Chain A
Amino acid sequence: MSNWIHAGPQIAAAFLGSSVEAIEAMTIVLAAGLVRGWRPALIGTAAGLATLTAIIVVFGPAIAAIPVAYLQIVVGSALLLFGIRWLRKAILRSAGVVAHHDESAIYAREASTLARSDGVSTRWDVVAMLTAYKAIVLEGLEVVMIVIGVGAVGNVLLPASVGALAACALVAAAGALLHRPLARVPENTLKYIVGIMVTAFGWFWFGEGIGIHWPYGDLAIVGLMAVLYVTSALAVRASRGVRMFSDANVEGSP
């Protein structure tokens, strides 16, 4: 029980990160189901989930065999790269430099592509099956990465997995009830929060792996998140300022 309380930040990171990925996968599965038919979309989804399960069963035990210091370095580096990528995107979206992720637009684009695809929609509609399969496998692998990243080193793989599964179940239930993409979920804010959490975990695990003694132990992660939050807020303001200055220069030029 104490392990589960101790794992609060990891569960939260797994839940939030997985919900973003689940929403993205659900948008594509919905498009495949509504445009080409539910049976092939669900077959593709089931096949995708089976592939993910096989990957976890095959590669999962290998993680336990890796020495902790190496695991911390590898997982820490991967988390840092992964987290910085999300944080960068979230900063640029918040600053108005790149467009916000729009599930409705993605759904419309995917539905249009599926409607134009060759082949008749049948029980074994390969186009719909492959579309759903690819979405589930790719977004699912990101979920697996997040769970392994935040859970493997701290020995909280089970709580992190439960957090991720809860997010996926919640999104799937919402999709089944609403039959439309979850466009109102503040996906950029979620990505921002997860980017901060995952980057902080990445710093912490990589540091531990190379022998850094973090002040206040695990509590240092909270401090690292605070540093990231303040700096990323500054980065949003700076990027917005640079963008407005560039726009003004373009408009002012003859």
Chain B
Amino acid sequence: MNAITSTVRALIGLFFDDGELALQILALLAATALMAKAEVSASWTSIALLVAGTLIILLLNVTRAARNR
């Protein structure tokens, strides 16, 4: 049972190492999908939101980790 629990935990850890980062990325993906749906031709605005949003989330996360280590 322990082996199964640790395996499941490790599997979840593949994607959710830092829970806050993963949740922020998922929220960004949902927002981008909504924006793309609202756009007549999903392109630049959605691309900008997806790419810039991910990079800002990543930058804030790593600098916070550096400050709190």
Binding site for B on A (CB under 8 A): 73, 77-78, 80-82, 84-85, 87-89, 91-92, 95, 97-98, 130, 134, 137-138, 141-142, 145, 199, 203, 206-207, 210-215, 224, 227-228, 231-232, 234-235, 238-240, 242-243, 246
Contacts and interface: CB of A to CB of B under 8 A. Distances in A.
Q: In the complex, which of the residues B6, B32, B36, B65 has the most CB atoms of chain A within 10 Å of its own CB atom? A: B65
Contacts, number: 120
B47 A240 contact: no
Contact of A235 (B10, B41, B43, B58): B58
B66 A240 contact: yes
B14 A134 contact: no
Interface of B: 3, 6-7, 10-11, 14-18, 21-22, 25-26, 29, 32-33, 36-37, 41-43, 46-47, 50-51, 54-55, 58-59, 61-63, 65-67, 69
Given A134-B3, A137-B7, A145-B14, A95 B66 contact: yes
A199 B54 contact: yes
Contact of A142 (B3, B14, B63): B14
A84 B7 contact: no
A97 B62 CA distance: 9
Given A85-B18, A212-B36, A238-B63, A231 B55 contact: yes
A84 B58 contact: yes
A82 B33 CA distance: 19
Given A206-B29, A239-B63, A88 B50 contact: no
Contacts of A89: 17
Contacts of B21: 84-85, 88
A210 to B, nearest CB: 4
A253 to B, nearest CB: 15
Given A206-B50, A207-B46, A212-B42, A239 B62 contact: yes
B69 A246 contact: yes
Contacts of A203: 50-51, 54
Contact of B46 (A88, A91, A138, A210): A210
Contacts of B46: 207, 210, 212
A214 B47 contact: yes
Nearest to B13: A85
B62 A88 contact: yes
